[in-house]
Amino acid sequence: MFEQSIILSAIRDAIDWVLGLVGQDISILPLPVQVVLCGLIAAGGLMGAIAFAVLIYVWMERRIAGRMQARRGPNRVGPYGLLQTVADTFKLLRKEDIIPTGANRILFAFAPMLVLAGVVAAFAAIPISWDADKGEPIMIADIDLGIFLITAIVATEVIGVIMAGWASNNKWSLYGAMREAAQVVSYEIPLGLSLLVPVLIVGDLSLGAATEDQLGGNWLIWRNPFMWAVFFIFYVAGLANCKRAPFDLPEAESELVAGFHTEYSGLRFSFFFMEEYASMTLISAIGAIYFFGAGDLFGLQGSSSLIMFGVLLFKILVSIFVMMWIRWTLPRLRIDQVMTLGYKVLTPIAFFLLLGVTVWDLYDLNDKLWELFSRS
């Protein structure tokens, strides 16, 4: 278990060191306790990192929106308004937690947790960097089924959204939930198919293997002519997965008031808010790792895992900026248009691209074309 994960073994070493202070070592704890303890610490760290990132993202979003809308955005609390989101967080924490009459209290309370948990858990299988000495990706759990686990675990978020809409005892919320249900079946297929292509090329479901495969500028996006189109499909479907504009139908504020989270307030509302930004990060991270070489910068980054982490973070931020840019530019699609886009446009193209990549790889056309060019 600990051999597979650099982060978990580092946590175990830290516990060992702390116990060493009182003259003990980690072997006094039985193995299951060690695993659970390390897991909990890792989960807490992940949660904290995401919460912190969300603070930055919200600030970023508001500043970018301000820029695009000929206004300033937050600029009073703290330098450049950086503490505005902190202030807002405290405001959200202090708000009254309202559960509407007639709501299903258990589902209502459970839904935001489920929504957030799904997305946060998926980060366990995301490699944040590369350890050149050990030749291993730095991640919480380097499981063989990496991307499969991510797509599966992220799907629980949809259940949470539908649960929230249903339990709210509000017709607008119900509409939001039903839209999410309709939307998820139309974007998950192209999303899955577009993720299948990098898996096919790398030959491994683990994202750690993809990181290794692309070291030294050998990014998947250059591997064959279909990859840009595959990335485009992935990105569009990913936007729908994050419920970001122009696919923000489940919460379409001009149509459904606030969609599935109409009735939520305070901390519970902030969970949905965090989920949105967390899944943006997740989609951006998968995009960076599967198409743009993860933490690799054409080999220029050297062997430092910290720089590689920085490079990955930069790529994620660029992607998130594009998502914000799209949100503040485009109008919203209608639900039938989203479904048409998913079923009739993205899915067939994704199938075609999958086939194209398969054939390209099968006949090794990269090498053959290279020979053809170098001969002439």
Partner 1 sequence: MLNPAMPLPDDPLDRDILIGAGDISTDEMYINMGPQHPSTHGVLRVLLRTDGEIVTEAHPHIGYLHRCAEKIGECLDYIKFQPYTDRMDYLAAMNNNLGYAMTVEKLAGLEIPERAQLLRVIIVELNRIASHLIAFGTYGLDAGALTPFFHAWREREEMLTLFEKICGARLTYNYVCIGGVVNDMPEGWEDMVLDFLDRFEKRWKEYNDLLTYNRIFIRRTADIGVITREDCVAYALTGPMMRGSGIDWDLRRDRPYMMYDRFEYDIPIGEGKMGTVGDCWDRYWVRMVEMKESGKIVRQAFDMLKGAEGTHKAKVPKVFKPKKGECYVGIENPRGELGFYIVSDGSKNAYRMRVRGPSFCNLSILEKLLPGAMIADAVMIIGSTDIVLGEVDR
Q: Summarize as ranges the residues that interact with partner 1 (CB under 8 A).
A: 65, 68-71, 171-172, 175, 178-179, 245-246, 248-249, 252-257, 328-337
Rounded CA separation 23/37 (Å): 19
Minimum CB–partner distance for residue 256 and partner 1 (Å): 8
Rounded CA separation 178/158 (Å): 10
Nearer to partner 1, 5 or 168 (CB): 168
Q: Which helix (H) or strand (E) covers residue 85, if one does?
A: helix 84-94
- From 376, 67, 115, 124, select the one nearest 261 (Cα to Cα): 115
Phi and psi at 131, nearest 5°, equal -95, 105
Minimum CB–partner distance for residue 94 and partner 1 (Å): 24
Nearer to partner 1, 213 or 248 (CB): 248
Nearer to partner 1, 69 or 303 (CB): 69
Nearer to partner 1, 68 or 92 (CB): 68
Minimum CB–partner distance for residue 71 and partner 1 (Å): 6
Contact 214, 294 (CB under 8 A): yes
Contact 164, 108 (CB under 8 A): yes
Nearer to partner 1, 8 or 245 (CB): 245
Amino acid occupying residue 366: N
Nearer to partner 1, 73 or 295 (CB): 73
Minimum CB–partner distance for residue 328 and partner 1 (Å): 5
Nearer to partner 1, 131 or 255 (CB): 255
Residues with Cβ within 8 Å of 243's Cβ and at least 6 positions away in sequence, in order, are 180, 249, 250, 251, 276, 279
Minimum CB–partner distance for residue 257 and partner 1 (Å): 6
Amino acid occupying residue 217: G
Minimum CB–partner distance for residue 237 and partner 1 (Å): 17
Minimum CB–partner distance for residue 174 and partner 1 (Å): 8
Using a 10 angstrom Cβ sphere, with 0-12 exposed, 13-18 middle and 19 or more buried, the burial of residue 202 is: buried
Phi and psi at 130, nearest 5°, equal -135, 130
Rounded CA separation 7/32 (Å): 17
Minimum CB–partner distance for residue 66 and partner 1 (Å): 9
Nearer to partner 1, 57 or 360 (CB): 57
Q: What are the structure tokens assigned to 18, written together?
A: 């702390």
Q: What are the structure tokens assigned to 362, written together?
A: 């099968």
Rounded CA separation 124/99 (Å): 32
